[in-house]
Amino acid sequence: MAGGRSFDNGAFLNVEAAARILDGGCGGERVDITGGARFSQNWLALGQIFIDAPQGGEEAVKAQLSLVRFGENGRGIQLGLRARIDGGAEEPALVLAFWGPASDRD
């Protein structure tokens, strides 16, 4: 299940929820909430909350803050920081991702 809303000022809000069913009975639920704003042609700021509840495992709530820098070709580089915010082990992580235009996926 997914839903979202974009606003005239370049901001957006997106919510995704999913259930996992894997071989061997491993499964669980996950909710991702993302808010962001494209404050110029080349920059996108993101704030995300991830709620992960695996069956038979430990539930975790993590937050991530990121910036994405887009080049002239539409490709971007995302740099962010993610950490647990639910009182468990903080588990900080550096996030590095590469973005491409939809035409790159064909």
DSSP annotation of 58 reads -
DSSP annotation of 55 reads T
- pLDDT at res. 24: 63
Asked whether 60 and 29 are in contact (CB, 8 A), the reply is no
Predicted structure pTM score? 0.80
Burial (CB count within 10 angstroms: exposed 0-12, middle 13-18, buried 19+), residue 3: exposed
CB atoms within 10 A of CB 2: 9
The pLDDT tens digits for 2-45 are: 898 989 888 999 999 988 776 666 677 889 999 999 988 899 99
- pLDDT at res. 76: 94
Position 55 confidence tier, pLDDT thresholds 50, 70, 90: confident
